Each structure stands twice: as C-alpha cells, then as structure tokens.
Amino acid sequence: MTEALRSLPPVDALAAQVDAPRAIAVAAARAVLAERRAELLGGTAGEADLVARARAWAVAAERPRLRRVLNATGVIVHTNLGRAPLAAAAREAVARAAEGYSNLELELASGERGSRHDLVAGLLCELTGADAALAVNNCAGAVLLAAAALAGPDREVIVSRGQLVEIGGGFRVPDVIAQAGARLVEVGTTNRTRRADYEAAIGPRTGAILRAHPSNFRQLGFVQEVEIEELCELGVPVVDDVGSGVLADAIETLRDEPAVRRSVRAGAALVCFSGDKLLGGPQAGLMVGSAEAVAAARRHPLARALRLDKLGLAALEATLRLYRDPECARREIPVLAMLTADEATLRRRSERLAAAVDGEIVPAVARVGGGALPLLELPGPAVAVAGNPDELAARLRAADPPVIGRIEEGRLLLDPRTLADDELELVARALS
C-alpha cells in the first residue's frame, strides 16, 4: 500500500494531461487523487486509469448542474423534474427579458419609478374577477404573507384541524402561522368541521380564517367541511389556499380541484395558489382578492423578501395571456395538453417510440403529480423496454439530455403522455 501511495502522480503532472481550463484540470486531478488514496487505504483498490478518471471528472464539471431532462415517467407535474414545463410563449418571453435591461420597475410613459407588482396584476384580475392581485415567489410564500398581512403579531388565525396539512419538504400549516407571528386556533376534528365550530372560535382577536386545500391527500367516508361560500359569510377575512391554481376550470379532468374564480366570487379576502402546477407557468405564488387585503400584503415588509424576479414575471405574464383564449391555453400550455391528450395521440406516440426502441406497448396509468389530484388516474399506453430495468434507467440518466422513465413490475416504462412529439427521437437516440 505504501508503495502504491508513493507511486501516485503529483497534482500538476496529472492535471497537465487533462484537456480543460487550468483551474478545472487541477480540481479534477485533486479530486481523483483523493479518491484513489481513499481506495488504497480502504483496501478496495484495483487497477485504475487516473488520467481517464480526471478527464471524465473535468467533463462533468464543465456540464451545467441544472439541465434539461426528458420526462418519460408519466407524472405530469413532476416536482423533482421542475414541475410544469413552460409553454413556447413563456420560454420566448424569458429569453427576451434576459437579453438585456428591462422596464421591471420603470413606467415607460411617465419615466417615473414603477412597481414590478403591477406587471401581472391586471391580467390576474381579468382572469379571476378579483379586485386586486399580487405575485410572489411561491405559494408557500403567498400563504405566509397573507397570514402576516391580515393577522400578524398578537392576532389569531382560525384553521380546521382537518386542514393542518404538511406538503413536500416538511412545510406545515401550523409553522406558517407561527412564522407570520399569529396565534393558531384549531377548530373541529380531523375528519369533521362545521360552521358552528368557526362561529364559536371567532372573537375580538381574530385576524383571519385560513382554509387550506388538502391537495396531496383525500379524506373519504365520515367527513365534513365548510364550503368557501359559508366561510365568507362569517364576517372575518378568509384566506383560501387553493393549492394548484386552476384557471382552466372548464376541463373536466380538473373538476375536483378548487377553482380560483369560485373563491373570488365567494368573497375570500385573499386566494393563494401556485403558478407552476396546474396553471402551467413558472414557480410563483399568486394572490388575488379584495383591494384592501392585497394592499395590506403589498405594504408588508415580507412582500419585498418574497418578490418575484424579472424572468419569472416574464414567463408568468406570457402564460396568463394564453388563458385569455381557453382553447389556446389547453393547446399551448404543456400541462393542460398532457392532461387532455386523447387516446389516438398517445397511441401514435407509443407506436413511434416502440418502433424506435424495439419496445412493447403496454397499458399503463399516468398521474398528475405535484400534490394535485392524488386519486386521479390517467390510463393510456406506455412502452416497456426489454432489459435489466435498473441498468437501463442508469444508462438513460447518463444520456444527453438525460431520459427519466419509471420502473414498474420489473420493467422500465416510457410514458408518452409526458413526452412532446419532438422528444421521441431524442429518447430513441438515448436508448440506441
């Protein structure tokens, strides 16, 4: 072992054989030599081509960490894969905004300072019927800001026990209320909450009622909850966290998700929802509601900490504009197109993919994902690829661009629902 350690080349000698910028070549040499020393000391070392390792390390280091991948999992709003893919119009808007400077906070007509909050507020009001609107960086931030603005220190927020939910990453409703500085008042039971429970809890210190949609699970059986219309009759500001943000409420598949327009019509002070789930846009937290409540949120110091950047605003504006024509939105926004893809389209894609990869067309079930519609199943064809599924999955992840499928019943499946037509050839190339 001692002799093997002494025979390791110096960092500079190994780096000189790596075709990469000096800093990367040196970092590659150091990383590979450290790895080799660990192997020797651990007694697990065999033969090793250190130059090849260093060159591979350098190639990987120069590749962007955030990369495009091809989603063949059949999970439409895939959190690990960046949730909703953007429409072409949104991608183009991001490119334009990134090209140089922009009027992010400048009123071009007057030459005076403007507000980024005004860039999408009008569109949100137009599409939802709300009096005012605000966009922040995600839905969790929107709920936090809403609770802080309407309740805040020494005030109370009333929440049904059945809605004290936890979403991905350990984000819990009670923690949001605490961070907003308000005191949580729980009402009802886990499975049943009545109007009378809320009425009994309302007092002089009540700042708001929070209704949190249990987006990533469902309660079945002996359950009861108070609808948004009744909550808004209680004389207390209502914050309605509807989760995924359904504006395409004419699509039958989305009927079990709460529609934003319904909560606005009911009179909720603030309706909070995501921009990057079923709405199909970039990561954003959207708030629509009364002029007074939105103004309170805009004035709160958290509004600056949670504000959306220019690229997110550009993508969001372009996505919202598509909703002015519901049929255009269904066709152009990828999430909506995937949800409503017909059997003929999916069959055609499957046949192309199966022929290209020598696979077998099998029945499968796709999912919405992203914590939305957890019980919804989307049946359709998928392509099963012959071979060891774990080895195939690893090979596909190493492709450029990487392809992510799913392993089911000992087979690697490629689901065409979440692949665009122009991506089928890329998947076939990765497998060949």
Q: What is the DSSP letter of 233?
A: T
- Percent of residues in the chain assigned helix, strand, coil, to nearest 5: 45, 20, 35
User: What is the rounded CA–CA span in Å between residue 418 and residue 346?
Assistant: 10
Q: What is the DSSP letter of 259?
A: B
Q: What is the DSSP letter of 248?
A: -
Burial letters 159-187, b for 16+ CB under 10 A, else e = bbebbbbebeeeeebeebbeebebbbbbb
User: What is the rounded CA–CA span in Å between residue 110 and residue 118?
Assistant: 15
Segments of the chain assigned to CATH 3.90.1150.180: 70-81+336-431
The CATH code of domain 70-81+336-431 reads 3.90.1150.180
3-state secondary structure of 25: helix
CA-wise closest residue to 127 among 303, 368, 317: 317
Q: What is the DSSP letter of 271?
A: E
By the 8 A CB rule, do 278 and 374 touch?
Answer: no
Q: Which residues contact 8 (CB under 8 A, 6 or more apart)?
A: 33, 36, 37, 50
* CA dihedral sign of residues 26, 28, 34, 40: negative
Segments of the chain assigned to CATH 3.40.640.10: 88-324
User: What is the rounded CA–CA span in Å between residue 322 and residue 328?
Assistant: 6
What residues are paired with 379 via a beta bridge?
A: 365
> Cis peptide before 401, with omega less than 30 degrees from 0?
yes
Per-residue pLDDT of the chain (432 residues; tens, 9 = 90+): 788 888 899 999 999 999 999 999 999 999 999 999 998 888 877 778 999 999 999 999 999 999 999 999 999 999 999 999 999 999 999 999 999 999 999 999 999 999 999 999 999 999 999 999 999 999 999 999 999 999 988 899 999 999 888 876 667 888 888 888 899 999 999 899 999 999 999 999 999 999 998 866 777 788 899 999 999 999 999 999 998 889 998 898 998 889 999 999 999 999 999 999 999 999 999 999 999 999 999 999 999 999 999 999 999 999 999 999 999 999 999 999 999 999 999 999 999 999 998 899 999 999 999 878 888 899 999 999 999 999 999 999 999 999 999 999 999 999 999 999 999 999 999 988
3-state secondary structure of 169: helix
Pinpoint the alpha helices (H) of 323-372: 326-332, 334-339, 343-357
Q: Which fold has domain 88-324?
A: Aspartate Aminotransferase; domain 2 (3.40.640)
User: What is the rounded CA–CA span in Å between residue 97 and residue 133?
Assistant: 22
CA-wise closest residue to 242 among 265, 219, 218, 274: 274
Q: What is the CA radius of gyration of the chain?
A: 26
